[in-house]
């Protein structure tokens, strides 16, 4: 396979059929990822006279446009290679990569939330006010009558608590 190269965004044509599949929330998510770690997967384009036609990577292209980029990393593919059946195996890999990035993002957010929670508890201990942990262990939730066992350490635990206890914590 060829090496990724830089393509001018203004010379990339997006077929109308592809534009219909655009999901703005996914573009926003990819733009955030590009800001944090850069473009990880190149788009695929094929030559067409004086321009390039987008084969794969609509959301990455739109994310780069939204960020004000003038170029994007891509791979130049031939018209024969650009056939959808040939690209099916590649799109499975792209989907797996997207899932992996979403999991990593979730883990990072959970770690940040846990760090903030720990910092809040530490500030409470230093000032002599009751810590979040002490408050959490003494609360009884009216809906269930159970005593909270401990303060959630991650965002996932907190959300689970919220759902289970009807939004009271």
Domain boundaries, the chain: 5-82, 101-164
- The predicted pLDDT at position 80 comes to 62
The sheet with strand 5-8 has its strands ordered as 5-8, 71-76, 43-48, 51-56, 12-13
Span 58-98, pLDDT tens digits: 999 999 999 999 999 999 998 665 555 445 555 566 677 77
- The predicted pLDDT at position 138 comes to 45
Give the pairing type, strands 12-13 and 51-56.
parallel
Residue 78 and residue 144: Cα distance in Å, rounded?
Answer: 63
Span 129-162, pLDDT tens digits: 554 444 444 444 444 445 545 676 777 776 776 6
Given a contact cutoff of 8 angstroms between Cβ atoms, the answer to whether 113 and 154 are in contact is yes
CATH class of the domain defined by 5-82? alpha beta
């Amino acid at each position: 396979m060829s090496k990724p190269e830089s393509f001018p965004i203004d010379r990339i044509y997006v077929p109308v059929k592809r534009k219909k599949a655009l999901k703005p929330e996914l573009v926003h998510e990819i733009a955030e990822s590009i800001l944090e770690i850069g473009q990880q997967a190149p788009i695929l384009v094929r030559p067409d006279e004086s321009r390039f036609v987008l084969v794969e990577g609509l959301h990455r292209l739109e994310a780069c446009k939204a960020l004000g980029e003038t170029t994007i990393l891509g791979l130049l593919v031939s018209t024969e290679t650009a056939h959808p059946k040939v690209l099916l195996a590649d799109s499975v890999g792209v989907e797996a990569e997207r899932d992996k990035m979403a999991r990593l993002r979730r883990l990072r957010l959970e770690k940040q939330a846990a760090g903030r929670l720990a910092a809040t508890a530490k500030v409470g201990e230093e000032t002599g006010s009751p810590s979040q942990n002490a408050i959490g262990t003494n609360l009884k939730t009216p809906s269930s009558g159970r005593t909270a066992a401990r303060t959630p350490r991650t965002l996932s635990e907190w959300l689970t608590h919220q759902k289970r206890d009807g939004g009271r914590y």
